Amino acid sequence: MTASIKSVNYHHQLSGRDFLTLADYTTDEINYLLELASYLKKQHKSGKSEQPLKGKTLGMIFEKSSTRTRVSFEVGIYQLGGTGLFLSSDDIQIGRGEPISDTAKVLSSYLDGIMIRTYSQAVVEELAANASIPVINGLTDMYHPCQVLADMQTILEEKGTLKGVNVAYIGDGNNMAHSLMMGSAKMGMNISIAAPKGYQPDPAITERSRSFAQGNKIVVTEDPAEAAKNADVIYTDVWASMGQETEQEKRVKAFKEYQVNNELLGYAKKDVTFMHCLPAHRGEEVAADVIDGKHSVVFQQAENRLHAQKALMTALMG
């Protein structure tokens, strides 16, 4: 049989589904998305890309600025044969107080899918509850599931498997930490998160993530060396995310012992992979010789945002 999107092993009907958190997807469904992402990446590299979303339109609502999310979704929908519409909150009525439910119903009559990058998870959930088309969470202060889908694709490429991989996340217990915990729990990875007191992941999300685990471990500690011990992957993120700029000085002091540098890499396995969702602040959360060194896959990881999200759009909007 000639290889095509339809030939990718698929036992789950994802068409029309929302993608709000990884908690809503089974291990098999996530495996399917990763398999489809790998297939689409190979097709892209070979110049033989299919266009399963020809004639379809994705609305992209941005309340937060973006490089990777905007470009990867806009290019991705174009490569799949569709059109992406950039909708800044400053340019549409949602930014002037129109109820989210009204916006959801209006956009559902025009579009085939919505991606939203915003602050509040509640906004994304209200949008999805009132839309009759798929809604994709492009980032909130609580979760970043699209990034973690691309991260898992990258780990698969580097390690050949997800099951049993030891991930160490060093830094702020933010949206990245939350989604990495959920992804790890669902896919059989062990994850240790090192963050100072007062900056650790939301306890409710930690416990929810543990409820998905099947023998794999989720550990939260204040000790970066403990988290990094025997790690296959070391991951970090900026210490002050968008909206936290006024806390920069306070956070630099709180996280000063949490920089990922060569000393910390020494606790991990010799073939450890370094990951960062970008943008990065060299000299703060990561030393320049680590992010620019032989262990780093940050640009492979960034590229995979394109392929993972093309898989997501194909599955949900196709």
Catalytic residues: 117, 144, 147, 237, 277, 305
Long-range contacts formed by 264-267: CB under 8 A, 24+ apart? 264/170, 264/224, 264/225, 264/228, 264/234, 265/228, 265/234, 265/290, 265/295, 267/225, 267/228, 267/229, 267/230, 267/231
**Binding site, residues?**
66-69, 93, 117, 144-147, 175, 237, 241-242, 277-278, 305
Is residue 58 within 8 A of residue 84, CB to CB? The reply is: yes
CA 316 to chain centroid, in Å, comes to: 16
Measured distance CA(231)–CA(244) in Å, rounded: 29
CA-based Rg of the chain, rounded to a whole angstrom?
Answer: 19
**Binding site for L-ornithine, residues?**
175, 237, 241-242
**Close Cβ partners of 7 (under 8 Å, ≥ 6 residues apart):** 1
Q: What are phi and psi of 299, to 5 degrees?
A: -85, -30
Is residue 300 within 8 A of residue 276, CB to CB? The reply is: no
**Binding site for carbamoyl phosphate, residues?**
66-69, 93, 117, 144-147, 277-278, 305
Strand partners, 275: 235
How is residue 201 written in tokens?
């992941």
Burial of 62 (0-12, 13-18, 19+ CB in 10 A): buried
For the chain, the residue count is 318
